[in-house]
């Protein structure tokens, strides 16, 4: 290698940093998400926001810190964790309903693998606009954080903890909206759910009961419950295609992004507007009360029969299968919990 090439290499090494480029000996602990059997190998992690331990730690503090949005009207403040609670797979939880313009939050899980569309209405089609963008918009959304982003940034800068954490993550103590969104995105991308009973079944570590297995077969067959084209299965363990679709469970005929069914037992009530309280209700609807609206997804193959017509026994099996998608490790993982109460 010539001197020129070597110098170039050294220079380019210096310029690659966690977040934005700086020319110091800044050397954060980069890591990649561990490869998980059956999960996608591609993520939405952008080259300018690689995961690093320091960035994730900063993001975790910010995620749980209500002080960043405290005002005289709301001295208790707001944080992401107000609407995204770990016990509810980072959805809001049935005892803490948080509607924003008529819609409930979405759980935050396996978002690193969603390369298609964020939000109930989908901000974009393939490839999605970035998670960083989505979080920046969240911080700027007066329905979620009732103060301008520069006040949020000023609040963060005034908390003694943060300048050092920003320096560790980004190389300098500058506190900007861009860095704040990047750090939050890093933390959110580490929220991976990979230990449900179904995951363990896939990896050959556990068996499904007869009832769960029958439910699984129903879930993945057209003449059964016909859920898999939209909600996944063995070949799509994210349990969503993240496409927009009309599922015909009400007459509105408006497409919504297909939500993941992972941790579905923890994310009641159901649908974007929370109109169903229980999984039984949801299953009854798909079985017998589908409206064949003009724009119903063609993947609702039995819409013209009013639904997939399941027997009581089949409904019970289908529910048993849906419960195998719960990941207790995810909702109790100490790495995802509130760092202020450790």
Partner 1 sequence: MTKWRNIGVCLRALSAGLLVLLGAVACKPDAMQSEMRLRFTFTFEGESLRMGERTYGIASGERIAVSDIRYFVSDVVLVDYAGRRVKFEEDDRNVHYVSSDLEESLTWRSSRKLPTGVYDYVEFVYGLDSARNVSHAFRNPPESLMFWPEVLGGGYHYMQINGYWGDAGETACTRPFGLHTGIGTEQGEAGSVHFSNAVKIIDTLRFFLVEDGDKTLTVNMEVAEWFRNPHEWHFSQYGGSVMQNPEAQRVLRDNAAGVFEVRE
Would you list the DSSP string of 275-321?
Answer: -B-SHHHHHHHHHH-----TT--TT-TTGGGTS----HHHHHHHHHH
Binding site partner of 221, from ligand HEC, partner 1, none, Cβ cut-off 5-8 A by kind: partner 1
Nearest to 199 by CA among 242, 243, 241, 232: 232
What is the Rg, in whole angstroms, of the alpha carbon atoms belonging to the chain? 22
Interatomic CA distance for residues 295 and 245, integer angstroms: 9
54 in contact with ligand HEC (CB under 6 A): no
Q: State the residue for tokens 């999960």.
A: 39
Q: Does 31 contact partner 1 by CB under 8 A?
A: no
* Interface mask toward ligand HEC for 245-264; x: CB under 6 A: x-x--------x-xx-x--x
Q: What b/e sequence results for 32-45 when a residue is b if at least 16 CB atoms lie within 10 Å of its CB, and e otherwise?
A: ebeebeebbeebbb
Secondary-structure breakdown of the chain: helix, strand, coil percentages, each rounded to the nearest 5: 40, 5, 55
Select from partner 1, ligand HEC, none the partner in contact with residue 98, using the beta carbon and a kind-dependent cut-off of 5 to 8 Å.
ligand HEC
Residue from 229, 266, 315, 319 touching partner 1 (CB under 8 A): that is 229
State the binding partner of 38 from partner 1, ligand HEC, none, CB within 5 to 8 A by kind.
Answer: partner 1
Per-residue binding letters, 97-136, with partner 1 (x by CB under 8 A): ------------------xx---------x----------
Q: Where are the alpha helices (DSSP H) in 69-176?
A: 80-83, 131-140, 149-158, 161-170
Comparison of 51 and 300: residue with beta carbon closer to partner 1: 300
Q: Which of residues 156-215 bind partner 1 (CB under 8 A)?
A: none
Contacted entry of ligand HEC, partner 1, none for residue 331, CB cut-off 5 to 8 Å set by kind: none
Number of residues that bind partner 1 (CB under 8 A): 32
Terminal-residue alpha carbon distance, the chain: 50
Pairwise CA distance, residues 311 & 289, whole Å? 14
Q: Which residues contact 13 (CB under 8 A, 6 or more apart)?
A: none
Q: Which residues bind partner 1 (CB under 8 A)?
A: 38-42, 115-116, 126, 217, 220-223, 226, 228-229, 233-236, 241, 292, 294, 296-304
Q: Which residues bind ligand HEC (CB under 6 A)?
A: 78, 80, 82-84, 98, 100, 103-106, 108, 111, 118-121, 131, 134-135, 138-139, 144, 184, 188, 225-227, 229-231, 245, 247, 256, 258-259, 261, 264, 267, 270-272, 282-283, 286, 297, 299-300, 308
């Amino acid at each position: 290698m010539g001197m020129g090439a070597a110098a170039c290499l050294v220079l380019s090494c210096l310029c690659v940093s966690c977040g934005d480029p700086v020319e110091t000996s800044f050397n954060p602990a980069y890591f990649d998400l561990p490869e998980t059997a059956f999960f996608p190998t591609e993520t939405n992690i952008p080259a300018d926001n690689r995961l690093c331990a320091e960035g994730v730690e900063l993001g975790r503090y910010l995620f749980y810190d209500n002080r960043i949005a405290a005002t005289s009207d709301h001295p208790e403040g707001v944080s992401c964790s107000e609407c995204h609670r770990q016990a509810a797979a980072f959805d809001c939880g049935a005892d803490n309903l948080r509607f924003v313009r008529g819609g409930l939050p979405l759980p935050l899980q396996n978002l690193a693998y969603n390369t298609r569309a964020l939000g109930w209405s989908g901000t974009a089609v393939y490839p999605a606009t970035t998670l960083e963008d989505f979080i920046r918009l969240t911080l700027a959304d007066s329905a979620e954080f009732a103060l301008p982003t520069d006040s949020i940034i000023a609040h963060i800068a005034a908390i003694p903890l943060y300048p050092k954490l920003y320096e560790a993550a980004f190389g300098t103590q500058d506190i900007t909206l861009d860095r704040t969104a990047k750090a939050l995105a890093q933390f959110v991308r580490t929220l991976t759910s990979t230990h449900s009973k179904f995951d363990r079944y896939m990896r050959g570590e556990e068996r499904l009961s007869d009832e769960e297995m029958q439910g699984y077969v129903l879930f993945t067959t057209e003449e059964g419950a016909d859920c898999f084209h939209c909600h996944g299965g063995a070949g799509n363990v994210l349990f969503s295609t993240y496409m927009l679709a009309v599922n015909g469970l009400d007459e509105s005929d408006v497409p919504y992004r297909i939500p993941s069914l992972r941790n579905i037992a923890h994310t009641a009530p159901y649908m974007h507007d929370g109109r169903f309280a229980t999984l039984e209700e949801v299953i009854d609807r798909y079985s017998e009360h589908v409206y064949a609206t003009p724009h119903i997804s063609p993947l609702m193959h039995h819409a013209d029969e009013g639904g997939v017509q399941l027997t009581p026994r089949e409904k019970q099996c289908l529910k048993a299968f849906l419960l195998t998608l719960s990941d207790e490790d995810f909702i109790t993982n100490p790495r995802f919990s509130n760092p202020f109460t450790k």
